[in-house]
Chain A
Amino acid sequence: MGSYYIKRTLSAIFTIFLIATITFFMLRIIPGGPFTREKKIPDSILESLNEKYNLDAPLYEQYFDYMKGLVTFDLGPSYRNLGFTVNDMILAGIPATFKIGALASLLIIIVGIPVGIVSALKSNTAIDYFVMFMATLGVTVPSFVIATVIIYLFAGQLGWIPTNGLNSPLAYIGPVIALSGYSISFVSRLTRSSMLEVLRQDYVRTARANGISEGKVIFKHALKNALIPVVTYVGPMVAAILTGSFVVEKIFAIPGMGGYFVESVNNRDYTVVMGMTIFYAAFYIVMVLLVDIGYSLIDPRIRLDGRGSR
């Protein structure tokens, strides 16, 4: 088992190295640079700026410099937010982003899964049709529309929640709903279809034939099996949500990572783009590893060391 985690760690490091390399060179291929402005900056200033940040050195030298920093978790300075390092920016963005991300993830799990189960148990009834209609709506309506409607209705017309920021508990309602809408719908659909599939399995019939009560048949025998595909989706989803959504953060004016990321791309703020990408990749890799560990806990047929079983 230990060797499995060593293997996974090595492959994670290699993946991050590849992502860093590809991102580094791709950024340099895109026209423009961190100091490109609409109004042209005098050549002399540009030159001294480039010299200050070592951007006039040969590309391979810049690349090795960057990689050297990466090994010591130094993601470099931001070229646009003077005086800030990329590490500072990520750390500044994390609290807000994680808070709404964690709440949204929690909401997705505690609402999406039960709703899916109810829908499966009441399949082809009015309840099921209603839930599936709502779920289709949730999957198809984009988060910025949900966010706008929430702000217009609950913040504007009714005045129940603030329009922006995270200064009161009520302020979380808008961004959390906008952030989780899609995934709640997706998870409930996934749980429903997976549950329906499992309820048709022979072992569910065996449990019933053995006189096991219906509650136990559903929540013990069926649910654990039905959750396997849900876990697959939830892992990467949590990674995506916890690293922030540009749209939702922008609309609700939340100072999170999502906003920084998109801004930095527009600004060609090389180090910030690199830092955010690597942070996201690392986070994603960890979540996928957690999913795999989750699998092995739910389904004994899955063995992490890959030795398989009889």
Chain B
Amino acid sequence: MKKKVLEVKDLETSFFTHLGEVQAVRGISFDLHEGDVLGIVGESGSGKSVTSLSIMKLIEDPGKLKNGTVLFHEEDGNVVDFTSLDQREMNEYRGNDIAMIFQDPMTSLNPVYRIENQMVEVIRKHTDMNKEEALKRAKHLLELVGIPDPEAQIHDYPHQFSGGMRQRAMIATAISCNPRLLIADEPTTALDVTIQAQILELLRKLQKETKMSIILITHDLGVIAEVSTHVIVMYGGMVMEKGTVHDIFYTPAHPYTQGLHESIPQSTAKQKERLVPIAGSPPDLMDPPTGCPFSPRCPYTMEVCLEKASPLFAVSDSQEASCWLLHEDAPEEPDYEKAREAK
């Protein structure tokens, strides 16, 4: 049995704007084990980024962590609840045991400080190293992430780096204190396709070498398929389905997951075959639907779906989905294609 790294329970985060409460995350629970690469996938506004920022306690005003616990299991088995820590205490974990990289490497590094300065600062914050030792470590890390001439380039400013190099520098900083968990929030979205593949390859390689766990947030199922071991599908601030990457790609149980697969272009598709979009638009999180958030767009909506959100039903040992169709009293699952055409 692999050791647990992170337990998230009933996490709820809202943004209290002057127009009203935006319920970005509405009760999310999941476990993450050592060495797992958990992909969180969902469309814009599904709450995946807010989930990761909530774990890090980086939610800023007017956002608020309303409910839930984030239990972090340290190397020695000690368990801390991040939600009970203040910012000063969190700073001991952030960048140290749990690190994060962001979507846009162009703006995520401070433009007025050298790469060297920014890396050494983080290393020295979390270790007892002196300046020379930290600099040596920083150079070693840059080499590890594939910066061609770290000896010279560590003295560069971020604007002298290309997008891919900046993301590499971000990754180097993030792994500088050997984190147990790395959260990567859309790490490849702002990069072009060849660089994307390189960065994913790098993350995969680092994960294998260091045994750290990764939470990979993306809206790209292709990215998930490439690096994840486990997947959570989010929609409207809730978990729709979770399972191993095999479960999600070969036996998707939730109509939303199925819909996502339908809308991906296939290289084996016949010419002129049209993609199938999911009809409708994502829910308004200021006033989310009472029942299942996907019910307004779901081809199989039943009465119960509109009244109450479904709990997570086990599909197999490794897979769960929150859909009333999986309830024992539910009618036999109709064929997705047929239902869509009928609609």
Contact = CB atoms under 8 A, between A and B. Distances in A.
Interface of A: 201-203, 205-214, 216, 220-221, 224-225, 298-301, 309-310
Given A207-B110, A300-B112, A301-B157, A212 B96 contact: no
B157 A300 contact: yes
Contact of A206 (B88, B108, B114, B125): B108
Given A214-B87, A300-B159, A309-B159, A209 B107 contact: no
Contacts of A205: 58, 102, 108
Given A212-B125, A300-B157, A309-B160, A202 B95 contact: no
B173 A202 contact: no
Given A298-B112, A300-B112, A301-B159, A210 B99 contact: yes
A49 B29 CA distance: 96
B66 interface: no
B91 A212 contact: yes
29 contacts: A202-B102, A202-B107, A203-B107, A203-B109, A205-B58, A206-B102, A206-B108, A206-B109, A208-B58, A209-B100, A210-B94, A210-B122, A210-B173, A210-B174, A211-B95, A211-B125, A212-B121, A213-B91, A214-B87, A221-B110, A221-B113, A225-B110, A225-B111, A300-B111, A300-B159, A301-B157, A309-B159, A310-B159, A310-B160
Given A202-B107, A203-B109, A211-B90, 8 more contacts: A203-B107, A205-B58, A206-B108, A210-B94, A210-B121, A213-B91, A300-B112, A301-B159
Nearest to B109: A203
B343 to A, nearest CB: 42
Q: Is the interface of A mostly helix, strand, loop or mixed?
A: helix
A127 B92 CA distance: 31
Interface of B: 56, 58, 87-88, 90-96, 99-100, 102, 104, 107-114, 121-122, 125-126, 157, 159-160, 170, 173-174
Contacts of A202: 102, 104, 107-108
Nearest to A297: B112
A225 B94 CA distance: 23
Contacts of B109: 203, 206
Nearest 7 CB-CB pairings of A with B = A210-B95, A211-B95, A211-B94, A202-B107, A203-B110, A209-B100, A211-B91
Nearest to B174: A210
Given A210-B122, A211-B126, A300-B157, A224 B112 contact: yes
B58 A212 contact: no
Contacts of B104: 202
Contacts of A309: 159-160
B88 A212 contact: no
A294 to B, nearest CB: 13
A211 B122 contact: yes
A209 B87 contact: no
Contacts of B110: 203, 206-207, 221, 225
B125 A209 contact: no
A203 B93 CA distance: 19
A298 B108 CA distance: 18
B51 to A, nearest CB: 15
A300 B111 CA distance: 8
A137 to B, nearest CB: 27
Nearest to B96: A211
